[in-house]
Structure 1
Amino acid sequence: MSSISDRTVQLVDIGGLNFALGPGELVVLLRHNASRLYLLCVYALLVVTDAPGLYGQVAVPVILTFWLFMLTFFLATLWCILFALAAAQNRLGPWKTPAPLVMALAVLPGTFVGEHAMGLLTEGRHPPQLFPQVVFYFIMAEVFGILFLKFVRPAIEGRAHETGRHIVIGASPVPLSRLRHIEAREHHVHVTLDGESLTQRARLGDIVAQTAPEDGFQPHRSWWVAAQAGGRLEKDGPKHVLQLRDGTRIPVARTRVEEVREWLERHG
């Protein structure tokens, strides 16, 4: 189960931008203080706006508890969907899933439960209305999700790189925080970023020279793996491989096994 949680799911947002997010990464992000502050703002906005019009029908403590439950229910549903997608992609291979579809699937159960809960809380004065309420909550979730991905997540991932560090690959500056792994292929390098990849004419050694030891490591002379890519050391027959969160399996040179193990223990 932990290996599936560590996988990332390839997603496409409403603007066509590729990005990746996995169930394990979602939990890590939500534990961060920036996420907690953001969720507190979202929770406060839900309570203050009172979209279903509960004020005057039920007590304020009930309203506070209701929205806390609904926000938690939504996040739990989102995690379950990401986990299901990660499990499916682990078996069938990666594919890109529309993020709005994921958001809609996460909103639908909560809307159903919430509408019926409001009917019970108001003793029938607020009959369940799945539509158009589900559309309204979907739009809200999309807006909150986009704001999180555009501002909160980059702030969290960039905290370790507060200066906004970039490295030059070929002629292109690449944010270090977005790097996952790099493979040397003859006179080119294949670079995997968060949700996309690129191929540039460059030498792996020149790229690695721009990084610090805590930024990542080389399990093999043809590979460099970023710290944020995660991973664990596994045996594949007589050889060792590095299993990354996104499912990539990278060969580990026999002479570097202990070095990789020590790096993972220190930084993993």
Structure 2
Amino acid sequence: MSAVAANPPLLGTAREWAIDLTVGVGIGVLLGLMGPFGSFFNANPPLRLAYWIGTIASGMVFFGIVTRLAAAAARRLGVPDWATTPPVVLIGSAIQGMPWRPVAISLWPQIDHAVPPLAWYGQCLAITTPIVLAYYFIRVRPQAHAPAREGLVPVEAPAPAADPGAVLYLRMEDHYVRIRTEHGSRLEMGPLARVTAGLGGVEGLQTHRSWWVARRAITGVERDGRNLRLRLIDGETAPVSRASVAKLRAAGWLAEENIA
């Protein structure tokens, strides 16, 4: 019996959305009571509360979806996912915020003259920025950089030794080891040493404290200043720690003619 992590849903779980919308409603109530950007002086407090709850709750849904999708697209393109936050804020503020302007004007006509469109956009940016940053750091970044603990389910799965010849490399991810084979990848409980012990007679070496690579998976060696990385057949590159250089060189993995 081993624990494998199922990939978390791209758009989040029902539990996450329940929490996010509850927080959004709470923020909307707080803003409705505070009345930022001069909205405190608008008549009819219950209507003001309803307006702020609606804008913040809809913003949580919109930016929760857009932030996740933008980060996922960035990772597929090899771009850092954090680089998507500025365009999401700038473009999303217009897409999500501008339709609320005619709603606000219909409720409080004086807004049309008191708050010109550019000032309205600035207010949208002020509200949107913390929402997007919160989504990135609380929802997107943890999902991208660590296995989801809630996705762990016990299943009957063969140990790595059951098909050692198919293993290409092992990589530590948080407290788990990702086993990359010819047929895909899965997660096993770590530590790395325990998982590598189950590989039997597979020719391979630990190249870094968090990487083990089968020799058959290597297509070349790259040099980046004083650092070396192994090019792998699936397009990944494995780091080589300085402590491992001598070991790999002695094994014939780092012949000078193979280093690009």
**What TM-score results when the alignment is normalised by the length of structure 1?**
0.43
Q: Which structure's CA Rg is the greater one?
A: 2
TM-score (ref. length: structure 2): 0.44
